[in-house]
C-alpha cells in the first residue's frame, strides 16, 4: 500500500514549519520573476510571507538573522555583489508581524555568542505578549571573526569548514555551545523571575506589584553572571519555545539538555533514526527523559507539479548563481505528493516534524501551503484547523510551572 492510500486514522499527524530567509535559500532566488527584491526590507514583504504560512496552518515560521552580511564562505565574508546581502532584525520583524497574525508561531534567530541573555529574555518575552503567546527563539552560535570584531570582546581564529574536525576547532565549538547552554539557562530563569500573579494592579490600595513575587536568579557561570529579576513580567506561555539547529554530537547535546525543538539535517531515514536516538539518549542523561523535545528534520525544497520542472528550475538557478547550490540539509526537488511521501518516511524514523526551507520563497512557500499541506491533509497527516492559541499548545507542550514559585511554596 502506498503512503498516499493509508487511511487517515492510521496516519500520525506531523508538525510543519518554514524557515524564512530573504528571497529564498537558493542564492539566486532573488533573480526569479516571482521574487520581490525591492521589497525585502519592508514590513509588508514579511507580513505577506508569514500570513501565507498561516493560511497553510503551519505551526511556526523561523526568521534567519546574523551579525554580519550573508556570505558564500563558511566563516568569513565574501566579495560577491550578485547575491542578497543585508537583513532586517529578526526579532523586530516578528514583533511587527505578530499583530497581523492570529495563530502561527513566530521564532526569530538570536546569535547567543555576542548577545546578552538579559536583553534577549525581555525581547522574546515582549514578543510573547505582542503575539498573545506565540513566541519562540532559535539560538545560534557564531565563529565568524568579522562578527566578533563588531563587539571587540573576543577574537576567533580563522576557520575553514574542513578544519572543523581539528582539536582546536572542536575545543572552540564545544566552548561556544556550552556558552549557548548557559545563555538559554539565563533566559529561562529570567522568564521565571516574575511569578504569574506578581502584578496586583490594585488601584484602591495603590499596589501594582507584589515585590515578594519577583525573584533574583543569581546565575553564576563561566560565561555569564546575572542577578535578575527581569524587567518584563512572566510571558503568557511561561516559557516561550526555545530551538536550535544541530548537526553533530555537541549541538545534539545542547538540543537535548536545553531546548524544546532541535532542527536536524539527516539525508535519509537511517540517518534520521540515528540522530533521534542520539538526542533521546542525551536527553535522558540530562534528566529530561520525561520532557517533550521535538526533533524536526530540515529540508530545502523546490516544488512543482512536474518533478522535471522542479529539477529544471533548480538547475536554472544554479546557472544564474554560477555554481551548484549545496546545503547542510537534504535538497528536495519534486512534487508536493513526492515530498509528502518523503516526510512520512522520515517521520517513521522518529522525527516529529519538519522545517522546510523554500528554495525560492515566492514560488515554494505557496507550493507548500497550497500543494503540500492539502496533500498531507488528504492523508490525515496534518491539521485541518488550528487547535490551540499558543505555540506551545500547537506543539503539544504544556505550560511549565514557575521554578521560583514552586520553591517559594515548599
**Residue 173 to residue 222: CA distance in whole angstroms:** 15
Q: Domain-by-domain residue ranges, the chain?
A: 3-149+236-409
Count of CB atoms within 10 A of residue 213's CB? 21
Q: Note down pLDDT in tens along the chain; length 410 residues.
A: 333 333 344 578 999 999 999 999 999 999 999 999 999 999 999 999 999 999 999 999 999 999 999 998 888 899 999 999 999 999 999 999 999 999 999 999 999 999 999 999 999 999 999 999 999 999 999 999 998 899 988 888 888 887 788 888 889 889 999 999 999 999 999 999 999 999 999 999 999 999 999 999 999 999 999 999 999 999 999 999 999 999 999 999 999 999 999 999 999 999 999 999 999 999 999 999 999 999 999 999 999 999 999 999 999 999 999 999 999 999 999 999 999 999 999 999 999 999 999 999 999 999 999 999 999 999 999 999 999 999 999 999 999 999 999 654 44
For the chain, the C-alpha Rg in angstroms (whole number) is 21
**CA nearest 325: which of 301, 303, 305, 356?**
301
CATH topology of domain 3-149+236-409: TIM Barrel (3.20.20)
The residues, any chain, with a CB within 8 Å of residue 77's CB and separated by 6 or more, are 68, 69, 71, 146
Angstrom distances, CA of residue 124 to CA of 117, 127, 134, 156: 10, 5, 10, 28
**Residue 26 to residue 41: CA distance in whole angstroms:** 18
**CA nearest 14: which of 310, 372, 274, 366?**
372
Cis upstream peptide for 178 (omega within 30°): no
- Judging by beta carbons within 10 Å of its beta carbon (0-12, 13-18, 19+), is residue 7 exposed, middle or buried? exposed
**Where are the extended beta strands (E) located within 125-230?**
136-140, 199-202, 207-209, 219-220, 225-226
**Residue 199 to residue 229: CA distance in whole angstroms:** 14
* Residue-by-residue DSSP string for 170-192: HHHHHHHHHHHHHHHHHHHHHHH
Amino acid at each position: 500500500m502506498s503512503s498516499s492510500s493509508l487511511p487517515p486514522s492510521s496516519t500520525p499527524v506531523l508538525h510543519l514549519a518554514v524557515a524564512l530567509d530573504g528571497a529564498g535559500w537558493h542564492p539566486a532566488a532573488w533573480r526569479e520573476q516571482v521574487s520581490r527584491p525591492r521589497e525585502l526590507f519592508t514590513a509588508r514583504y514579511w507580513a505577506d510571507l508569514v500570513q501565507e504560512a498561516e493560511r497553510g496552518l503551519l505551526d511556526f515560521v523561523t526568521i534567519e538573522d546574523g551579525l554580519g552580511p550573508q556570505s558564500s564562505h563558511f566563516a568569513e565574508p565574501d566579495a560577491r555583489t550578485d547575491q542578497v546581502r543585508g537583513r532586517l532584525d529578526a526579532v523586530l520583524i516578528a514583533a511587527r508581524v505578530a499583530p497581523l497574525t492570529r495563530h502561527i508561531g513566530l521564532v526569530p534567530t538570536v546569535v547567543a555568542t555576542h548577545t546578552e541573555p538579559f536583553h534577549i529574555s525581555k525581547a522574546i518575552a515582549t514578543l510573547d505578549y505582542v503575539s498573545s503567546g506565540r513566541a519562540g527563539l532559535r539560538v545560534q552560535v557564531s565563529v565568524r571573526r568579522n562578527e566578533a570584531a563588531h563587539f571587540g570582546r573576543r577574537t576567533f581564529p580563522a576557520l575553514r569548514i574542513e578544519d572543523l574536525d581539528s582539536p582546536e576547532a572542536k575545543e572552540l565549538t564545544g566552548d561556544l555551545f556550552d556558552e549557548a547552554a548557559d545563555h538559554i539557562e539565563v533566559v529561562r530563569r529570567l522568564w521565571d523571575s516574575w511569578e504569574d500573579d506578581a502584578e496586583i494592579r490594585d488601584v484602591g490600595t495603590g499596589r501594582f506589584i507584589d515585590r515578594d513575587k519577583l525573584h533574583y536568579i543569581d546565575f553564576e557561570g563561566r560565561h555569564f553572571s546575572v542577578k535578575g529579576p527581569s524587567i518584563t513580567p512572566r510571558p503568557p506561555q511561561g516559557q516561550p519555545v526555545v530551538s536550535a539547529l544541530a548537526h553533530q554530537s555537541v549541538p545534539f547535546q545542547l538540543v537535548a539538555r536545553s531546548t524544546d525543538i532541535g532542527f536536524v539535517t539527516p539525508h535519509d531515514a537511517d540517518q534520521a533514526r540515528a540522530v533521534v536516538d542520539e538526542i533521546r539518549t542525551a536527553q535522558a542523561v540530562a534528566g529530561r527523559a520525561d520532557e517533550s523535545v521535538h526533533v524536526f528534520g530540515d529540508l530545502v525544497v523546490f516544488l512543482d507539479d512536474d518533478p522535471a520542472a522542479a529539477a529544471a528550475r533548480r538547475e536554472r538557478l544554479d546557472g544564474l548563481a554560477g555554481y551548484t547550490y549545496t546545503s547542510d540539509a537534504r535538497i528536495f526537488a519534486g512534487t508536493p505528493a513526492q515530498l509528502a511521501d518523503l516526510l512520512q518516511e522520515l517521520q517513521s524514523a522518529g522525527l516529529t516534524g519538519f522545517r522546510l526551507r523554500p528554495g525560492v520563497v515566492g514560488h515554494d512557500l505557496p507550493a507548500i501551503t497550497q500543494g503540500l499541506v492539502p496533500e498531507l491533509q488528504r492523508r490525515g497527516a496534518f491539521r485541518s484547523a488550528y487547535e490551540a492559541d499558543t505555540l506551545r499548545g500547537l506543539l503539544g507542550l504544556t505550560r511549565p510551572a514557575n521554578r521560583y514559585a514552586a520553591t517559594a511554596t515548599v
